[in-house]
Amino acid sequence: MEFRTDYPEGYRAGFACFVGRPNTGKSTLTNALVGEKVAITSAKPQTTRHTIRGIVHKDDHQLILIDTPGLHKPRTLLGSRLNDLVASTLGEVDVIGFCLPADEPIGPGDRYIASQLSLLDGRTPIVALVTKVDRVPKDKVAEALMAVGELADFADVVPVSAVEDFQVDTVDSVLAAHLPKSPPLYPDGDLTDEPEEKMIAELVREAALEGVRDELPHSLAVQVEEMYPREGRSEDNPLWNVHVNLYVERPSQKAIIIGKGGSRLKAIGSESRQGIERLLGTKVYLDLHVKVAKDWQRDPKQLGRLGFDFNN
């Protein structure tokens, strides 16, 4: 991909990130803005482990989105590292979008986030994004906007529905207005700079989380062990081997993932393989292994091995 050189006078480029309680629509909004599925969405809270960037390319700006994990009070070592990550991300971006769903009252979780954001002392502009407005009647939207406006000193308050594509463009332009004047920071057309392996791991993770019990999301880590072209690979037969490990904390969780006679693991494989093949543009032979890594969330060594060592 080429860097654009014919960008107009006044072109802006920079970084934005979304914060908000789990499940407030951050990933869905990222996807709607970028126009392709780059962030993992899920009906379960706190499934966005990795900081995934989506890039919005417009004629007069480039908006680079960092999809942070939900801000929350740390429960485990992993939790506190996530918070460190969020804190360091927040100081680096040009604008923050604070997602608050229109269909839920403002609660202690939102106030906790607002208090964290106030530590930035107004150095970074914060735009309140009132998400999921399709879920409430029109007259309730105004009420939600007023309540949100009282929570903190926002640069703007924008109602949006990512699902119904209502005001998604407005969110883009309101965020872009806070970006610095700058040449493009990424080549034209790039949607994400995540390495393929990370995206593959996320596709498997998303498939594995479908329809399982609530405690599992926090206990599941996925890592691509290796990928290489299969022997005899040719233009007619472009097969790749992709070997993926799924780590859980307990043998009982391993049994859930594998399912009766391996049925769930098979379903996870066939579901995620489609996305992986689309991503790589080739047929793949997907090899999934489920392993027990006891208490990995609390063990710094294992966290590092699984790619969660954010300090390095």
Ligand X SMILES: Nc1nc2c(ncn2[C@@H]2O[C@H](COP(=O)(O)OP(=O)(O)OP(=O)(O)O)[C@@H](O)[C@H]2O)c(=O)[nH]1
Q: Mark the binding-site residues for GTP, compressed into ranges.
A: 20-27, 67-71, 131-134
Partners of residue 66 on adjacent β-strands: 17, 53
Give the one residue of 7, 16, 38, 48 binding ligand X; rule: CB under 6 A: 48
Give the one residue of 83, 120, 135, 259 binding ligand X; rule: CB under 6 A: 135
Interface with ligand X includes 72 (CB under 6 A)?
no
What angle do helix axes 77-92 and 108-118 make, rounded to 10 degrees? 50
In the complex, the smallest distance separating the C-beta of residue 68 from ligand X, rounded to whole angstroms, is 8
Rg of the Cα atoms in the chain: 20
> What is the Cα–Cα distance from 208 to 305, expressed in whole angstroms?
20
48 vs 253 by CB, closer to ligand X? 48
Partners of residue 97 on adjacent β-strands: 18, 127
Region at 259 (left for phi over 0; alpha for psi -120 to 50; beta for the rest): left
Quick one: which segment of 45-53, 85-93, 140-148, 192-200 binds ligand X (CB under 6 A)? 45-53
Give the one residue of 45, 109, 259, 307 binding ligand X; rule: CB under 6 A: 45
What 3-state class would DSSP assign to 287?
Answer: strand
Residue 23 CA from chain centroid, whole number: 11
156 vs 227 by CB, closer to ligand X? 156
> What is the Cα–Cα distance from 279 to 214, expressed in whole angstroms?
28
Q: Write out the binding residues.
A: 20-27, 67-71, 131-134
- Find all residues with CB under 8 Å of 294, minimum gap 6, and list them: 249, 250
Backbone φ and ψ for 100, nearest 5 degrees, come out as -135, 120
Interface with ligand X includes 163 (CB under 6 A)?
yes
Interface with ligand X includes 241 (CB under 6 A)?
no
Quick one: which segment of 19-27, 114-122, 194-202, 282-290 binds ligand X (CB under 6 A)? 19-27
- Find all residues with CB under 8 Å of 288, minimum gap 6, and list them: 204, 244, 245, 246, 265, 268, 269
Angle at 114 between CA 109 and CA 117, to 5 degrees: 130
Interface with ligand X includes 41 (CB under 6 A)?
yes
In the complex, the smallest distance separating the C-beta of residue 24 from ligand X, rounded to whole angstroms, is 4
Interface with ligand X includes 24 (CB under 6 A)?
yes
In the complex, the smallest distance separating the C-beta of residue 32 from ligand X, rounded to whole angstroms, is 8
Quick one: which segment of 16-24, 52-60, 191-199, 244-252 binds ligand X (CB under 6 A)? 16-24
In the complex, the smallest distance separating the C-beta of residue 102 from ligand X, rounded to whole angstroms, is 9
Task: State which H helix or E strand residue 284 sits in.
Answer: strand 284-292
Residues that bind ligand X (CB under 6 A): 20, 22-28, 41-43, 45-48, 70, 131-132, 134-135, 161-163
